[in-house]
Amino acid sequence: MSELSLSGTLHSLAQRDLMIAFRRRADVLTTVFFFVIVASLFPLGVGPEAALLRSMAAGVLWVAALLASTLALHRLFAADHADGTLEQMLLAPQPLSLLVLAKIAAHWLTTGLPLVLVAPLIGLQFGLNTAEFPVLLAALLLGTPTLSLIGAIGAALTLGLRGSGLIALLVLPLYVPVLVFGAGAIEASAAGLGAAAHLSVLGALLLFTLVFAPWATAAALRIAVE
């Protein structure tokens, strides 16, 4: 197997998932709308006090992003399992973990990246300073791929089971470190303490999950199919 055939296969698989997501734009928009609605409800509930909204902005944005990211997890492998594509992936000469990584990348591009792009607009609603937006974007760019990688494990473990809520029960506890350091980066920046330490931890979490999550997801998929 040549490097060209491997890269071509990964590119084709990711492109296929992106095309499917483009045809089902309603699913993608549902994730974004859920993020916007959840984040927008907090100012209505706690009142218009600027200092209070600014203090809770980091936590609200990250909780909303975390919950929104779980909405699309059940679609990550369900369609491939139903139409037999997953069995073909298992029989492919390419490593299953790399095929899984290509699907996770496509999933993040259609779910995580839109949340990153919308987050600054929601931040304005909470009174965040524009100087804090680079930290917000950096934290989300590091954290949301980690959410997709961890979520893929939960999607694989619950493949074929009834009720997508089981995925949330599995992955939400694992999301806690990303939530803590993602929100902490924004809070530290707002307090003038610097967010380098928090962003470094988010980067380390991303590297760790990037190495181990595709392997764990591939193992879970083999068990689910068998």
Mean pLDDT by 10 residues, the chain (226 residues): 63 82 80 89 77 84 89 81 80 86 91 90 84 90 94 86 70 91 89 87 95 92 81
Task: Please tell me whether residue 25 adopts helix, strand or coil conformation.
Answer: helix
Identify the pLDDT of residue 29. Answer: 85
Structure tokens at 171: 């992955």
Identify the pLDDT of residue 164. Answer: 56
Cα angle: 37, vertex 39, 45; to 5 degrees: 95
Cα 226 to chain center, whole Å? 27
Q: Residue 80 corresponds to which amino acid?
A: D
Residue closest to 35 by CA, chosen among 116, 133, 141: 116
Identify the pLDDT of residue 165. Answer: 63
- Counting every residue written for the chain, the total comes to 226
Identify the pLDDT of residue 4. Answer: 46
Domain edges within the chain: 3-225
Identify the pLDDT of residue 162. Answer: 62
Structure tokens at 144: 């949301």
Q: Tell me how crowded residue 138 is: count the other CB atoms within 10 A of its CB.
A: 20
Identify the pLDDT of residue 27. Answer: 76
